[in-house]
Amino acid sequence: MNAPGAVSVWLTANTHAMVLWIGAICTLGLYSVLYKENKIFRFFEHLFLGLATGYMIAINWNDVLLPKWWTPFFTNGEWWWAFALAVGSLFYFIYSKKYNWMARLVIGLFLGVGAGQQFQAFVNYVWPQIYTSFKPLWAHDAIAAVNGHPAVKALNWGEARNNIIFMAILLCVMSYFFFSFEQKHPVLKHSAGLGRFLMMFTFGAIFGSTIMARLALLIDRMDFLMNDVGGQAAGPDNGPKLVFTVLLALIALVLYLSLRKGGAGNGDGVAEEL
Amino acid sequence: MNLLRTLQTVDRRVLYALLLLSVTIPFFLTMKIPVKISPSTQKLYDTVESIPEGSFVIFGTDWSAGTRGENGAQTEALMRHVMRHKLRFAILCFDPQSATLAQTIAERLQPEYGYKEGVNWTNWGYRVQEVLFFKALANDVVNTVKADNHGAPIQTLPVMKGVTSAADVKLLLNVNPTNTYTYYIQFLQGPFHIPMVFACTAVMAPEAFNYVESGQISGMLNGLMGAIEYEQLLGVVGRATKDSNCLSFAHLLIIFLMVMGNVAMVLERRAKKAEFSYNAAGGSQ
């Protein structure tokens, strides 16, 4: 009788450490794909997907369906919630060739609701983008409020120059998207070409930002391994050094396996096995 | 030629190893690479500061474990500021994992600022269908939210005192790695003119700057770098600040590798062109 109690006490006392170690093993397992595609990576990938899906189902039941539908319907006796079940079930008729028109009824309903909401969404979302695109291009002094017209802040030449650049880029990029007719006119042709060129800056910024984002995720994992797991294993001073040594050993092993003659391919790794 | 070719065909695992070293070695360095505060981060800080103490704000967190590296640090930095500035707040999540993740951060920080759940902050938990939720919330907070994530009726919580509709919400904060932040703009910020600030992953920042420029978003944190800047403004050394050297070193490595690869490519092309010209001329000159 005492054995389960002892196990339970041990588990309670060591939950934090276990969570850290499981996290470390999962992190290293997933990063093993950097060497090449392998079964360990596949196992942890599926484990993560299964956990995330299971968690999502559980939380949707506990936080949404149970308090908002099950309890009112079955416990509080609010019988009209039966209609929600009936209408919601119609979605599943999409799998029936004969009765999929019933699914279209409810899909149509939601499309209509969505479309109606988009009117309000568009006004609040896009309209401010349009009217704030109209910017003064000439420096001026402050203008006081007159006859209900609001006061206008002074604009210096530096700000005016920025506004001119903004307007030029806006017009060039917009001219690129005139697809209704052929862009033969030299002005339109060149502005569209310039607009296309300028958009490349944005795509470059997005790509650079993507790299920055991915690096932040890598840093977070390394922080976790070195400070959290390392701290748990050997204390806050020696833990990071210990984990760093282990990482160095793993790097050396991977490089040896990768670069030796007849080694593990060039890292493309598709269909290769560890 | 061999060296130039080698520089362009380095095994990717060698690059991964270099990257791993560049993000781990800085953990042992005591030096601090200076960080310049960007205008959008400063605007976010000023916006939070402009909200009167004791006001009620919605703290939307819509991230999951996958973007913890950026959004976790941002959430921590923003929550510190909100707590330091003595604002009441409610955590609101449209991502299943986020309610738990934000709760953990709030519970960790609350002793530092003398905050108490239910009194100074609450967690409205995971919600679905942003549009319908916001439209209902705008008119009737109590009957839309009903209970916090522990099941306590929100009208009994001191933190919710005097909060009945969108008009009582003084600021919207949203930490979000997806474009669902636009729902906040469409159905709360726009119609009710509530100031909104936003913290996004770096990959979303170029697109989101449009809303900062138009004034729909009053300030923005750009990825981990934004969190680092914000901690600097707050004068605290949090997780983001500890990671700042790693980010700088990793960026330097990538820039170095890109320059080396491109220089090698250009030099190799020139060498090939010169060799071709030499051969075309009969190879006798």
- Interface probe for A, chosen from B15, B20, B35, B204 (most Cβ of A below 10 Å), is B20
- Contact pairs from chain A to chain B, CB under 8 Å: 157
B284/chain A closest Cα distance in angstroms: 40
- Please indicate if any CB of chain A lies within 8 Å of the CB of B125: yes
- Please indicate if any CB of chain A lies within 8 Å of the CB of B133: no
**What distance lies between CA B91 and its chain's CA centroid?**
16
Our CA dihedral for B221, B227, B233, B237, rounded to 10 degrees, sits at 170
Say if residues A223 and B242 touch (Cβ distance below 8 Å).
yes
Query: Is the CB of B223 less than 8 angstroms away from the CB of A59?
Result: no
> Which pLDDT band, with edges at 50, 70 and 90, does B244 fall under?
confident
Select from B121, B173, B171, B126 the least CA-distant residue to B145. B126
A2/chain B closest Cα distance in angstroms: 33
The span from the CA of B215 to the CA of B195, in Å, is 9
Query: Is the CB of B205 less than 8 angstroms away from the CB of A209?
Result: yes
Say if residues A94 and A103 touch (Cβ distance below 8 Å).
yes
A-chain residues near B23 (CB < 8 A): 215, 218-219, 222
User: Buried (b) or exposed (e) across A90-114, using 16+ Cβ within 10 A?
Assistant: beebeeeeeeeebbeebeeeeeeee
- Please indicate if any CB of chain A lies within 8 Å of the CB of B254: yes
pLDDT of A178-206, one tens digit each?
888 888 888 899 999 999 999 999 899 89
Nearest residue, CB atoms, A216 vs list B70, B126, B190: B70
Instruction: Identify the bridge partners of residue B175 per DSSP, sorted by sequence position.
Output: B61, B199
The confidence score (pLDDT) of residue A183 equals 81
**Cα within 13 Å of Cα(B119), Cβ side:** 7
- Please indicate if any CB of chain A lies within 8 Å of the CB of B247: yes
Q: Quick one: closest CA in B to A243, which residue? A: B24
The confidence score (pLDDT) of residue A145 equals 83
- Please indicate if any CB of chain A lies within 8 Å of the CB of B30: no
pLDDT of A49-92, one tens digit each?
999 899 999 999 998 899 889 999 999 999 999 999 999 999 99
A-chain residues near B98 (CB < 8 A): none
Token pair for B10: 């380095």
Q: Quick one: closest CA in B to A224, which residue? A: B69
The confidence score (pLDDT) of residue B4 equals 81
Our CA dihedral for B135, B138, B144, B149, rounded to 10 degrees, sits at 110
Mean pLDDT of the A126-142 span: 89
A98/chain B closest Cα distance in angstroms: 30
A182/chain B closest Cα distance in angstroms: 29
The span from the CA of B57 to the CA of B81, in Å, is 12
- Please indicate if any CB of chain A lies within 8 Å of the CB of B241: no
pLDDT of A6-25, one tens digit each?
888 888 888 999 999 999 99
pLDDT of B67-111, one tens digit each?
999 999 999 999 999 999 999 999 999 998 999 999 999 999 999
Amino acid identity of residue B80, one-letter, is R
**What distance lies between CA B269 and its chain's CA centroid?**
42
The confidence score (pLDDT) of residue A6 equals 86
Whether the predicted pLDDT of A272 surpasses 50:
no
Whether the predicted pLDDT of B213 surpasses 50:
yes
Q: Quick one: closest CA in B to A212, which residue? A: B202
- Interface probe for B, chosen from A41, A212, A245, A257 (most Cβ of B below 10 Å), is A212
> Which pLDDT band, with edges at 50, 70 and 90, does A44 fall under?
very high
User: Buried (b) or exposed (e) across B81-98, using 16+ Cβ within 10 A?
Assistant: bbbebebbbbbbbbbbbb
- Residue spans of the domains in chain B: they are 2-29+245-280, 39-236
A3/chain B closest Cα distance in angstroms: 32
Token pair for B281: 């001329």
pLDDT of B27-71, one tens digit each?
998 877 788 999 999 999 999 999 999 999 999 999 998 899 999
Beta-carbon count within 10 A of B160 CB: 22
A60/chain B closest Cα distance in angstroms: 7
- Please indicate if any CB of chain A lies within 8 Å of the CB of B178: no
> Which pLDDT band, with edges at 50, 70 and 90, does A262 fall under?
low
A-chain residues near B126 (CB < 8 A): 59, 63-64
The confidence score (pLDDT) of residue B17 equals 93
Q: Do strands B169-176 and B56-61 pair parallel, antiparallel, or not at all (unpaired)? A: parallel
Q: Which residues, in sequence order, are CB contacts of A95 under 8 Å at separation 6+?
A: none
Write down the residue that tokens 């003659």 correspond to: A261
Query: Is the CB of A244 less than 8 angstroms away from the CB of B27?
Result: yes
DSSP chain A: -HHHHHHHHHHHHTHHHHHHHHHHHHHHHHHGGGT---HHHHHHHHHHHHHHHHHHHHHHIIIIIIIIIIIIIIIS--GGGHHHHHHHHGGGGGG-TTTHHHHHHHHHHHHHHHHHHHHHHHHHHTHHHHHTT----S-B--B--BTTBPPB--B-HHHHHHHHHHHHHHHHHHHHT--SS---SHHHHHHHHHHHHHHHHHHHHHHHHHHHHHHHHHHHHHHIIIIIIHHHHHHHHHHHHHHHHHHHHHHHHHHHHHHSTT-STTS--TT---
0.90 cut: is pTM over it? no
Helix (H, G, I), strand (E, B) or coil at B267: helix
The confidence score (pLDDT) of residue A2 equals 54
A128/chain B closest Cα distance in angstroms: 7
Helix (H, G, I), strand (E, B) or coil at B174: strand
A-chain residues near B202 (CB < 8 A): 209-210, 212-213, 216
Question: Helices marked H in B54-147 — which ranges?
Answer: 73-84, 98-113, 130-139, 141-145
Instruction: Identify the bridge partners of residue B126 per DSSP, sorted by sequence position.
Output: B93
Q: Which residues, in sequence order, are CB contacts of B253 under 8 Å at separation 6+?
A: B18, B19, B22
Write down the residue that tokens 């930095």 correspond to: B77
Angle at A28 between CA A22 and CA A30, to 5 degrees: 100
CATH dotted code for B39-236: 3.40.50.10160
Q: CA separation (Å) from B156 to B107, B120, B146, B163, B212?
A: 20, 13, 10, 12, 37
pLDDT of B250-281, one tens digit each?
999 999 999 999 999 999 888 888 888 888 88
Query: Is the CB of A205 less than 8 angstroms away from the CB of B206?
Result: yes
Predicted complex: ipTM over 0.90: no
Query: Is the CB of A121 less than 8 angstroms away from the CB of B246?
Result: no
B-chain residues near A56 (CB < 8 A): 96
- Please indicate if any CB of chain A lies within 8 Å of the CB of B16: yes
Query: Is the CB of B69 less than 8 angstroms away from the CB of A206?
Result: no
Beta-carbon count within 10 A of B129 CB: 12
The span from the CA of A12 to the CA of A16, in Å, is 9
- Please indicate if any CB of chain A lies within 8 Å of the CB of B11: yes
The confidence score (pLDDT) of residue A274 equals 37
Interface of B with A in 208-237 (CB under 8 A): 210-211, 213-216, 222-225
Say if residues B63 and B98 touch (Cβ distance below 8 Å).
yes
Whether the predicted pLDDT of A267 surpasses 60:
no
Token pair for B239: 């997780």
Q: CA separation (Å) from A23 to A16, A26, A222?
A: 11, 5, 12
Query: Is the CB of B69 less than 8 angstroms away from the CB of A219?
Result: yes
The confidence score (pLDDT) of residue B59 equals 97
Return the H-helix or E-strand segment holding B39. Answer: helix B39-50
A-chain residues near B191 (CB < 8 A): 120, 124
